[in-house]
Amino acid sequence: MHPAASIIVFTTLSGAGYGLVFWLGIAAAGGWLRGDRGFGAAALGLALVAVTAGLLASTFHLGRPERAWRAVSQWRSSWLSREGVASLATYIPIGLFAWGWVVRGSTGGFSGACALLAAAGAAATVVCTAHIYRSLEPIAAWSNAWVPANYLALAAMTGALWLTALAAIFAVDATAAAWLAIAAILVAAGLKLGYWRHIDRAPGISTAESATGLGSIGRVRLFEAPHTSENYLLKEMGFRVARKHARKLRRIAAALAFALPLLLMLSVLALDDWPRLVAALAAALLGTGGVLIERWLFFAEAKHTVTLYYGAARA
C-alpha cells in the first residue's frame, strides 16, 4: 500500500497525543497526578496540538477536504466515521479536564471524572483508527488482531515517553513516568515483533488462481497487463517495499522506537537534573521517529489483493 505521508504523520502524532491524554486521564482519575497548572497546561496543550495537527494532516490526503465534515455521518457502518466521531467527542472531556486542572487547579472530583472520560475517549479513538485497517479484508497484513493491539500499544508507548519528558521538564515524578514508559516499551516491542512474525508467516489466503478462478487449469501468471503505464490502482495499492529494505527498516524502527528509548528510560531512572532531562527528551523524540518509520513500513509492507491481477502470486 502507498505510504501517504499525511496518514503516517496523522496516525503517529494523534497516537502519541491520545496516549498522553490516556495516561494523564488515568493518573488524574486515580489521584496520582502531581504537578501544577503549568504542567497541566503544557501536557494537555501538547496533547491537543498533536491530536489536532494529526487530524488536520489526515484531511490533506482527501480529494475534497472541504467536505470532510460529512465523514462523521456514517458511524453505524464505517470505522473511519466512528474515528471522526470519537476524536471530536473526546475534545469535550479533554477541554473540561484542562479547564479543571489549569483554570481551577483541581484534578479530582468533576475534573477527575472528565479525565477518566478523556482517557476512555482517547483509547476509543485509537481503537477506531486501528479498526479502519483491521476491517480491510483485501489486505492480509492489516486484517488481523495484531493491528489494534499494536496501534494501542504504540500510542500508549509514545504517550508515556512524552509524559516522561514533560515530567522531567517540570521536575514532577519522572521516575514513576519512566517506569510506566519502560513497561509500555516492553509491551509495544513484544506486540510489534509478534505482528512482524505474523505477517511473515501469513502472507494472505488469496492467490492469482482464486482471483481469476482459473486454478483448475493450472498456475496463473500475468501475460499482458491491461495498460502500459501505472494507473491509480498500481500507484495506490501496488506499492511494496523491497524485502531486503524492509528487513533493514524493521531493525532501524525497532532500534529507534524500542531499544534506544528503553536504554534512555533506564538512564532517566539513574540520572538527575539536566542529564535526566536530555535523556527523557531524546527518548520521546527517538521513540516518535521510530514509530514514524514503523508506520511507513505498516503501509509499505502491506499487500493488496488487486496486485494478484497484476502479476502477484499471493496476497
Partner 1 sequence: MTSLPANPGAKRLGLVIDLDTCVGCHACAVHCKEWNSGGIAGPLTDLDPYDTEPDGVWFNRVHSFEVGEGAAGRTVHFPRSCLHCAEPACVTVCPTGASYKRAEDGIVLVNEALCIGCKLCSWACPYGAREFDGNEGVMKKCTLCIDRIYNETLDPADRVPACVATCPVSARHFGDLGDPQSEVSRLVAERGGYDLMPELGYAPTNKYLPPRRRCDTAIAAELPDAAPAGGFLGWLDRLLSG
Binding site for partner 1 (CB under 8 A): 1, 61-65, 67-68, 70-74, 76-81, 84, 132, 135-139, 205-206, 208, 210-214, 216-227, 229-233, 235-237, 304-306, 309-310
* CB nearer to partner 1: pick between 153 and 211: 211
Instruction: Give SS3 for 74.
Output: coil
CB 25 within 8 Å of CB 97: yes
In the bound state with partner 1, the residue whose beta carbon lies nearer, of 136 and 160, is 136
Query: What grid cell was written down for 273?
Result: 537534573
CB-nearer residue toward partner 1: 232 or 274 = 232
CB of 225 to partner 1, least distance (A): 7
CB of 128 within 8 A of CB of 75?
no
* First CA to last CA distance, the chain: 12
d(Cα 266, Cα 120) in Å, to the nearest integer?
29
- Residue 191 CB, shortest distance to partner 1, in Å, is 23
Specify the residue, 194 or 215, whose C-beta has the smaller distance to partner 1. 215
Nearer to partner 1, 209 or 289 (CB): 209
User: Nearest distance from residue 130's CB to partner 1, in Å?
Assistant: 14
> Is residue 267 classed exposed, middle or buried when 0-12, 13-18 and 19+ CB atoms within 10 A define those classes?
middle
Q: What angle do CA 43, 86, 283 make, to 5 degrees?
A: 35
**Least distance from partner 1 to the Cβ atom of residue 152, Å:** 21
State in angstroms the smallest separation of the CB of 137 from partner 1.
5
CA angle 227, 228, 231 (to 5 degrees): 60
